Amino acid sequence: SRPIVIPLPDEAATIQLGEDLALALRPGDCLALSGDLGAGKSTLARSLLRAVADDDGLEVPSPTFTLVQSYGLRIPVSHFDLYRLGDSSELDELGFDEALASGICLVEWPEMAHELLPASRITLRLEHRADGRLATLTGPEAGTKRIRRSLAI
Ligand code: ADP
Ligand code: MG
């Protein structure tokens, strides 16, 4: 389906997108966060988690070393960072399938386990631009339609 392209001129815009996505996502959704170091993947994951928690002060530690942090919220959310994933079969051991069965999975560095992530995943690519970042959302129509509605575009 058509990609959704959203200019993000500053950090506040990235945070707003995370909040909007929090309203659009449902249990069973996998959001793959793709982009270089410093692109804003963790900033977006943090704002999305805080919005689902309805708590601006929610601590969102980086899962760089643990590879996953799970949150028992209104909708359970698991935040993965696969940068240090060794063999891609490790994703199993991290409980990815169980996390997806009951909640939302946010995945930083999805390139490390592309073949294991659900084909129905929604990909959010964040790219550096002279004026901030550019976000591009792609995925099956069922997911992108819900996102368009929550973004009112
Ligand atoms: P990543 O997890 O992709 O490595 P982080 O979220 O840790 O990136 O860091 C992103 C950095 O870029 C933060 O310093 C944040 O304030 C900044 N940032 C986030 N979104 C934007 C934006 N749209 N424009 C400019 N700076 C941004
Ligand atoms: Mg990060």
Task: Take atom 7 of ligand 1 and give the residue whose Cα is closest.
Answer: 42
Which domains does the chain show, CATH number per domain? 4-148 (3.40.50.300)
pTM of the predicted protein model: 0.97
Cβ of 119 below 6 Å from ligand 1: no
pLDDT digits (tens, 9 = 90+) for 55-89: 999 999 999 999 999 999 999 999 999 999 988 88
ipTM score assigned to the predicted complex? 0.99
Mutational test site, ligand 1, from 6, 43, 79, 84, max ligand atoms within 8 Å of CB: 43
Q: Which ligand is nearest to the CA of 129?
A: 1
> Judging by beta carbons within 10 Å of its beta carbon (0-12, 13-18, 19+), is residue 118 exposed, middle or buried?
middle
